[in-house]
């Protein structure tokens, strides 16, 4: 195929890729325990995001504003080609090491000094919180850089679309400030105090350990003081009040595509893979069983955990609560599903596998969105031409066209409100909006334009 690009764009993209490659090579050398000066860390922290930004800027340089999907299904990366498999295998390996073999990444066992990749990040960790790095610190740093760098690329791509612009600014800030700097800095200020989750938006049930006895105890320990009590109350209010209310008013998108970390990575780093989601009815069915299954699972686990907490017992009906309830959930759902499959398989299954099939928070909000919310995607009368761009680019695998071509509003529990269906529609058919509940669900719409049918009794 003839895809000659102007020289300046190729040069710019090459510089961007080169900068990113430098950072990755340094990280790889660090992982193999090469002793690198701390200037190397600064080099990585600069070139990694900068490379992504330069690449993103150059990709759309000189092109008129608009939808940039040319060649999505012919490129190796976005069409499950060789580069997709390489990235998929690489990411999956990283997650496996991160969750189950952190010592390979350089995590010092039992307080021993870090080495390798994790040791490489020690100076940054000391600078932010005054203590050595951990695998989660390294993960959080790389994760935040990915959202920042590829988020800015996304903004260049969708700079004509104000919804996409503000949504992306929001996920970048939410990640950097709420998920990364505030928790890490607070951690540094309270090193002698017991650990509890300090990401203000990391609500139960996405945070599956919120109600576990150790976490409750740590928040309410006397040495945790008002900070611990604040996080405990905020966690309860967030789960019971903030989430249902906001979801009622604007749909679950306030979380999934505006502030959530998983959603943030999916929308930025995962943008090239959104078209890979499975649109079949079969996968929709699987989705409903799985996601609600996970929600039921975490509610049962949490019920048991709370029983243990109040009954002051490690057993529930003769079963050890840690071994039979907490640990399997953390392993199967918390690590394998959300991490290894959820992100590792981006280039193969799409960028929202976790959000669509597994996230209990998404399931919880989805119930409100489906039955009690003001949010809908309005279909614009009879303008739909059934082209299918909306369905193709729906990362949640919703067959948006099914609704649009019959003039029906899209009311689906799984919609995360990313707004891409509306952006790629060539006929101006779709609009995400919040409005009166009355008439939101129109089961048997009459498509505007056909008066012979509309005027029937």
Partner 1 sequence: MDKIVIIGNGVSGVTTARHVRKRDPNAEIVIVGSETKYFFARTALMYVFMGHMKFEHTKPYEDSFWEKNRIELCFAHVNEVDFENKSLHLENGKTIHYDKLVLGVGSKPRKFGWKGEDLPGVQGLYSCQDLMQLEENTAGIKSAVVVGGGLIGVELVEMLRSRNIEVTFLIREPYFMAGLVGSGESEMLMDHMEEHEVNVKVNSSLQEITSDNNGRANGVITENGEHIPCQMVGLTIGVTPNISFLENTSLEMNQGILVDPFLQTNHSDVFAIGDCVEFRTAPPGRRKIEQVWYTGRMMGETVAETLTGTPRKYLPGQWFNSAKFFDIEYQTYGSVSDQLPEGQHEFFWKHSNENKSFRLVFDSSDNRFIGLNVFGMRMRHEVIDRWLNENASADYCMEHLNDAWFDPELYRNDFQEFVTKYNQEFNKDIHLKSKSWSRILERIKV
Residues that bind partner 1 (CB under 8 A): 1-4, 64-67, 69-75, 160-163, 165-166, 280-281, 378, 380-383, 385-389, 391-392, 401-402, 405, 419, 422-424, 426-428, 431-433, 435-436, 438-439, 447-456
> Which helix (H) or strand (E) element contains residue 440?
none
Instruction: Indicate the residue among 372 and 454 with the shorter CB distance to partner 1.
Output: 454
Q: In whole angstroms, what is the distance from residue 176 CA to residue 157 CA?
A: 21
Residue 454: CB minimum distance to partner 1, A: 7
Nearest-CA neighbor of 416 among 428, 432, 402, 435? 432
Residue 417: CB minimum distance to partner 1, A: 10
- Tell me 430's DSSP state: E
Residue 305: CB minimum distance to partner 1, A: 40
34 Cβ neighbours under 8 A, 6+ residues apart: none
Instruction: Indicate the residue among 67 and 227 with the shorter CB distance to partner 1.
Output: 67
DSSP 229-241: HHHHHHHHHIIII
Instruction: Indicate the residue among 352 and 401 with the shorter CB distance to partner 1.
Output: 401
Residue 423: CB minimum distance to partner 1, A: 7
**Neighbour tally for 398: CB within 10 Å:** 24
- Tell me 378's DSSP state: E
DSSP 38-87: HHHHHHHHHHHHHHHHHHHHHHTTTPPSS---TTTTTSTTTTT-HHHHHH
Residue 246: CB minimum distance to partner 1, A: 15
Instruction: Indicate the residue among 118 and 421 with the shorter CB distance to partner 1.
Output: 421
Instruction: Indicate the residue among 188 and 382 with the shorter CB distance to partner 1.
Output: 382
Instruction: Indicate the residue among 307 and 402 with the shorter CB distance to partner 1.
Output: 402
Residue 154: CB minimum distance to partner 1, A: 16
> Which helix (H) or strand (E) element contains residue 319?
strand 319-320
- Which token pair is 22? 């430098």
Contact call for residues 166 and 150 (beta carbons, < 8 A): no
Structural Rg of the chain based on CA atoms: 23
Contact call for residues 380 and 431 (beta carbons, < 8 A): yes
- Apex CA 202: angle with CA 309 and CA 192, to 5°? 65
Residue 324: CB minimum distance to partner 1, A: 41
Q: In whole angstroms, what is the distance from residue 353 CA to residue 357 CA?
A: 6
β partners of residue 375:
434
Residue 389: CB minimum distance to partner 1, A: 6
Residue 285: CB minimum distance to partner 1, A: 12
Instruction: Indicate the residue among 87 and 446 with the shorter CB distance to partner 1.
Output: 446
Instruction: Indicate the residue among 338 and 392 with the shorter CB distance to partner 1.
Output: 392
Q: In whole angstroms, what is the distance from residue 443 CA to residue 434 CA?
A: 18
Cβ burial of 122 (10 Å; 0-12, 13-18, 19+) is buried
Instruction: Indicate the residue among 3 and 312 with the shorter CB distance to partner 1.
Output: 3
Residue 450: CB minimum distance to partner 1, A: 4
Instruction: Indicate the residue among 209 and 258 with the shorter CB distance to partner 1.
Output: 258
Residue 380: CB minimum distance to partner 1, A: 5
- Which token pair is 24? 């990755």
Helices (H), 190-324: 213-220, 225-237, 243-250, 253-256, 261-268, 281-311, 321
Instruction: Indicate the residue among 72 and 87 with the shorter CB distance to partner 1.
Output: 72
Which own/partner contact pairs does 326-330 have at CB distance under 8 Å and 24+ positions apart? Answer: 326/209, 326/212, 326/301, 329/208, 329/297, 329/298, 329/301, 330/208, 330/209
């Amino acid at each position: 195929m003839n895809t000659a690009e102007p020289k300046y764009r190729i040069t710019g993209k090459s510089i961007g890729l080169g900068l990113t490659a430098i950072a990755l090579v340094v990280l790889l050398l660090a992982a193999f325990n090469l002793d690198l000066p701390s200037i190397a860390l600064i080099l990585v922290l600069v070139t990694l995001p900068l490379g992504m930004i330069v690449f993103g800027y150059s990709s759309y340089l000189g092109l008129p504003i608009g939808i940039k999907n040319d060649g999505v299904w012919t490129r190796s990366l976005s069409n499950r080609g060789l580069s997709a498999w390489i990235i998929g295998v690489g990411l999956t390996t990283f997650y496996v090491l991160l969750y189950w073999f952190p010592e390979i990444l350089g995590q010092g066992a039992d307080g021993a000094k870090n080495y390798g990749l994790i040791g490489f990040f020690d100076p940054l960790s000391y600078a932010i919180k005054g203590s050595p790095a951990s695998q989660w610190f390294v993960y959080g740093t790389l994760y935040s850089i990915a959202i920042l760098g590829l988020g800015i690329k996304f903004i260049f791509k969708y700079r004509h679309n104000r919804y996409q612009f503000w949504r992306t600014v929001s996920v970048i800030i939410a990640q950097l400030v709420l998920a990364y700097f505030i928790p890490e800095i607070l951690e540094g200020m309270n090193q002698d105090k017991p650990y509890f989750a300090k990401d203000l938006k990391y609500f139960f049930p996405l945070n599956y350990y919120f109600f576990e006895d150790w976490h409750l105890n740590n928040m309410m320990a006397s040495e945790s003081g008002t900070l611990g009590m604040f996080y405990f109350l905020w966690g309860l209010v967030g789960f019971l009040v903030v989430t249902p209310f906001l979801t009622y008013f604007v749909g679950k998108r306030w979380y999934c595509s505006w502030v959530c970390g998983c959603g943030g990575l999916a929308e930025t780093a995962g943008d090239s893979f959104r078209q890979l989601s499975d649109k079949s009815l079969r996968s929709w069915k699987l989705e409903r069983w799985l996601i609600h299954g996970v929600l039921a699972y975490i509610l049962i686990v949490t019920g048991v955990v709370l029983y243990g907490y109040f009954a002051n017992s490690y057993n529930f009906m003769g079963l050890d609560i840690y071994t039979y309830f907490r640990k399997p959930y953390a392993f199967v759902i918390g690590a394998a599903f959300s991490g290894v499959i959820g992100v590792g398989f981006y280039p193969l299954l799409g960028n929202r596998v976790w959000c669509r099939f597994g996230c209990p928070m998404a399931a919880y909000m989805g119930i409100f969105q489906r039955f009690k919310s003001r949010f809908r995607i309005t279909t614009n009368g009879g303008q739909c031409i059934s082209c299918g761009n909306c369905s193709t680019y729906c990362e949640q695998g919703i067959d948006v066209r099914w609704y649009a071509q019959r003039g029906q509003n899209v009311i689906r529990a799984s919609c995360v409100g990313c707004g891409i269906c509306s952006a790629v529609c060539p006929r101006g058919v779709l609009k995400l909006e919040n409005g009166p509940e009355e008439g939101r669900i129109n089961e048997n719409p009459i498509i505007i334009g056909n008066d012979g049918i509309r005027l029937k009794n």
